[in-house]
Chain A
Amino acid sequence: MTSREGPDPNGNQVANLSRIFEGQEKMMTPLTEAELSDVIAGAKGPLRIQGGGTRDIGAPVQGEVLSTAGLSGVTLYEPGALTLVAVAGTPLADIEDTLAVEGQRLAFEPVDHRGLLGTTGTSTIGGVVAGNISGPRRIQVGACRDSLLGVRFVDGAGRVLKNGGRVMKNVTGYDLVKLMAGSWGTLGVLTEVSLKVQALPEAVGCVLINGLSDEDAVAAMSAALGSPFDVSGAAHAPSGVDGHPVTMIRIEGLEASVAYRAAKLTDVLARFGGEVSVERDADKVAVGWAWVRDVAAMQGGAGDVWRISVKPSDGPEVVEKLRALYADLRVLYDWGGGLVWVQVPAGTDVRSVAFEGHATLIRSSRETRASLPVFHPEPAPLATLSQGLRAKFDPRGILNPGLMG
């Protein structure tokens, strides 16, 4: 291997840079990785990286918009090896459709936040990876970063780089794949990602418990997650679809397994009080988990939405402290209690309550995002390391500058 030939599904198109003007904003939409590299190398000022542009979150970034929408397509898909490689601007929906044909899916269950954020547009796989966006199944199969096998990206100097590959096990050199996941376009613009995918389960089921307090719910979820019954989702809504507390434990697999484990979990969970039932209708289970995944309970609401990552058993305590401050707090626990979504009055920093973990401001006004740190402030030594890495990957500080703080 001597030269860097990029993924170029549009290779037959004229390799010139398309410039789209949208309102006031100039948007650059390179059609190939090489063009993207030229744009970045030649950039005179900051760039705002956009995938599908479904999100205007994070600390507001000033800069010319650089869109990956022109880089689209699945470059390789081997269902028998559970691997898919796609160019970063590929719509997430296209990838999900491609996988569905072979009875497969992305294991990490990416969240669709358009409802929560009131945005429209098409999520791209690059945007999902850049944000390490992971849904309820994170507790069983890991985050987006755990499904990510390899990346190609263009760094802030315009260099086209690669790390990882398309095989499941790879420890060749440093793992920059994980670093790029969740770097929100501040270290480089992803051009191609390889992902490990998962077979769709034959059957699903959900054990439901009604009426638990937050604390009992987390204890119940811990019992389920600490059982041998391979739970793929554990969430608790203090105020569910019908306004009452509901705890949801999901199981997926072969029909015989799901039936067996649903029964076993029902036994395990009986001791927590609440009224236990089992939902076996696949459509209803899917709707319920999409409701959790997309934080439907906070869609259309007023106020800011935060995502708090804590040790599961700490969740209820953090919530209790926040409730004492904000009477109309809205809460959703996912990841067995380890992920707490809260809706608080606009302009509130939930980090005024002390906890071990981190909180990210997901929905709020641009003013708030400009004044409060959107991402959790890091302890000084880590902040120094992160700053050091940014300076190496993006020496001119032009990629989404300031987005992560």
Chain B
Amino acid sequence: MDMPTPNPEVLAKKARIVARLKEVLPADAVISDEVEVRAYECDALTAYRCPPLAAVLPASTEEVAAVLKVCHAENVPVVPRGAGTSLAGGSMPTADSIILGVARMTEVLETDYENRFIRVQTGRTNLSVSGAVEEEGFFYAPDPSSQLACAIAGNIAMNSGGAHCLKYGVTTNNLMGVTMVTMEGEIVEIGGAYLDAGGLDLLGVICGSEGQLGVVTEATLRILHKPEGARPVLMGFDSNEVAGQCVSDIIKAGILPVAIEFMDRPCIRATEAFAGAGYPDCEALLIVEVEGSDEEIDAQLERILAIARAHSPVELRESTSADESARIWLGRKSAFGAMGQINDYMCLDGTIPVSQLPYVLRRIGELSKDYGLDVGNVFHAGDGNMHPLILFDANKPGDLEKCEAFGADILRLCVEVGGCLTGEHGVGIEKRDLMVDQYLPEDLDIQMAVKDVFDPKWLLNPAKVFPLASSEARRMAAE
């Protein structure tokens, strides 16, 4: 993975930069020891690492502003960091950068059940946002599988999704406002406890901007009352086509499940061996979950099961207890772990139009043979967000590169059929160079022009999202 050559001027003045940071932060909030900064050398894309120049852990928006002023004055790149669970290398540093972590900013600032929002500092983890409103029966809807660890900061920067976004939307649909600090150190408030923008929708651009437009320190999030109940059904089919058709028919019938998850045979086998959830041995498996009261769930499932039966399922399992529900979800939830048990794996995240599902799965199967690498597919079928897991052996020379090439081919395939490179994990460094397959140079240029406005010196997370060749002129001009 190419990264820009670190700016030698910045490297040379490390001591001075650290000293200036220590002037604006408590001593324990500035980490510059070469060993200690290693804690920040990578995120969950662990294949790539680079220790930063230093890391800072401010405790307030004002401290964030003070740090950014110093970095702006000294021309030091800044990489914002939440919990470091990005799968795209979004929070991976460069040698000349400062990691700005919001991990110490975890306060709940306001909860308002009447107006249904919560305001938090962004270092708070996703799950603990729901945790803060649970007693009143509320929750924060976007639920990435990493929710125990990942922070709202990263969720906003990546516009993260989750298993239930078919019904509740992704982060951007649940974000009402932010407090953000610009690279120049100016604190801005965008949106708030009311809906929609009075002018241009700046909030909409900030969400999903991968830490390149500003450092988000506080967020106003929409909260909802929990449904009365939820229940999954499991369906097994003897072909991917039929399972795909069933998904489409459910959606067309006007029933909106909260989740429709899909697993293919390699994935089913792996999770069976790992978790023993009792899944049928079949080509394709769907888990469909609906919400409501018992009566409402019965009514919805009756429709869904009728649709499924019309597709001659090899198995149809309705949960009748909390225990059974948990078992239905068990395999799906342990899918990543199961695949990890077999081998190292790379998790892709392309999205495709649901109608292209059978074709794409077939092509992935063919590519898998060509590359000689196994792949399992587990994904959010309702919205076409695929997570092919490619298995490889990190200890085998050349295997990682082969796996990456295979992954790139799959993502190009997603684009080719009308989809996109990433549905929820973000571009980061991982998919940066594939951006040219989805966008023309002018499409990338207008996006970079947005960064020019927010961060004219290109100091915030500059080596991400855009192919290095595309962003080079801008980054150089800034140096």
Contact = CB atoms under 8 A, between A and B. Distances in A.
B26 interface: no
B286 to A, nearest CB: 15
Nearest to B447: A174
A385 B202 contact: yes
Interface string A174-212: 111111011100010000000000011110000000000
A1 interface: yes
Given A311-B115, A338-B195, A168 B427 contact: no
A200 B446 CA distance: 37
B421 interface: yes
Nearest to B190: A382
A339 interface: yes
A392 B296 contact: no
Nearest to A258: B296
Interface residues of A, number: 90
A138 interface: yes
Nearest to B418: A166
A378 B254 CA distance: 41
Contact of A168 (B194, B255, B351, B446): B351
Best-buried of B112, B172, B195 by chain A (most CB within 10 Å)? B195
B73 interface: no
Contacts of B355: 78, 80-81
Find the residue from A172, A178, A181, A338 having the highest chain B CB count within 10 A.
A172
B164 to A, nearest CB: 13
A182 B197 contact: yes
A382 B188 contact: yes
A81 B251 contact: yes
A66 B446 CA distance: 23
Contact of A165 (B166, B195, B380, B420): B420
Given A161-B446, A256-B296, A182 B201 contact: yes
Nearest to B174: A142
Given A142-B173, A173-B465, A309 B195 contact: yes
Contact of B196 (A4, A143, A173): A143
B198 A179 contact: no
A272 interface: no
B161 interface: yes
B406 to A, nearest CB: 19
Contact of B438 (A172, A183, A383): A172
B439 interface: yes
A7 to B, nearest CB: 13
B158 A171 contact: yes
Nearest to A160: B442
Contacts of A381: 182, 186, 188
A246 to B, nearest CB: 21
Contacts of A357: 192, 194, 198
Contacts of B422: 170-172
Contact of A172 (B116, B138, B199, B431): B431
B454 interface: yes
Interface stretch (A46-54, A110-118, A220-228, A276-284): A220-228
A134 B195 CA distance: 11
B170 interface: yes
B89 interface: no
Q: Which of B194, B225, B355 has the most CB of A within 10 A?
A: B194
A222 B173 contact: no
Given A167-B423, A175-B207, A260-B295, A199 B254 contact: yes
A396 interface: no
B116 A226 contact: yes
B422 to A, nearest CB: 5
Q: Which of A103, A175, A357 has the most CB of B within 10 A?
A: A175
Given A1-B415, A199-B254, A392-B453, A179 B443 contact: no
Contacts of B74: none
B383 A169 contact: yes
Contact of B200 (A79, A162, A255, A404): A404
Contacts of A176: 205, 446-447, 450
A163 B449 CA distance: 14
Nearest to B419: A167
Interface centre among A102, A174, A219 (most CB of B within 10 A): A174
Contacts of B199: 358, 375-376, 378, 382-383, 386, 404-405
Interface string B394-425: 00000000000000000000010011111111
Contacts of A182: 196-197, 200-201
B295 to A, nearest CB: 6
A155 interface: yes
Nearest to B449: A392
A9 B450 CA distance: 31
B114 interface: yes
B114 A226 contact: yes
Nearest to B421: A172
A338 B194 contact: yes
A228 B227 contact: yes
A228 B194 contact: no
Interface in B219-278: 225-228, 248-249, 251-256
Interface in A285-333: 309-313
Interface string B350-393: 01111100000000000000000000000010111100000000
A171 B208 contact: yes
Contacts of A254: 255, 296, 299-300, 303
Contacts of B112: 311
Given A138-B195, A163-B443, A167-B384, A78 B200 contact: no
A175 B354 contact: no
B337 interface: no
Contact of B440 (A1, A171, A309, A383): A1
A200 B450 CA distance: 38
A249 B453 CA distance: 43
* Residue among B226, B293, B437, B453 facing the most chain A CB atoms (10 A cut-off): B453
B208 A175 contact: yes
Contacts of B425: 171
A360 B197 CA distance: 11
B121 interface: no
Given A172-B435, A376-B198, A181 B423 contact: no
Contact of A175 (B204, B253, B303, B438): B204
B458 to A, nearest CB: 14
A389 B115 contact: no
Interface in A343-383: 356-360, 375-376, 378-379, 381-383
B228 A228 contact: yes
Contact of A339 (B114, B195, B208): B195
Contact of B447 (A146, A173, A181, A201): A173
A166 B353 contact: yes
B442 A171 contact: no
A378 B191 CA distance: 11
The residue among A82, A161, A169, A393 with the most chain B CB atoms within 10 A of its own CB is: A169
Contact of B115 (A181, A201, A312): A312
Contacts of A375: 198-199
Contacts of A225: 116
**9 closest cross-chain pairs (CB), A and B:** A178-B204, A358-B198, A199-B254, A80-B248, A376-B198, A169-B423, A168-B383, A388-B453, A256-B299
6 contacts: A4-B440, A139-B195, A167-B351, A200-B254, A230-B292, A392-B453
Given A179-B202, A200-B254, 14 more contacts: A80-B249, A138-B195, A142-B169, A161-B446, A171-B427, A174-B447, A178-B204, A199-B252, A201-B254, A226-B225, A254-B255, A359-B198, A385-B453, A386-B202
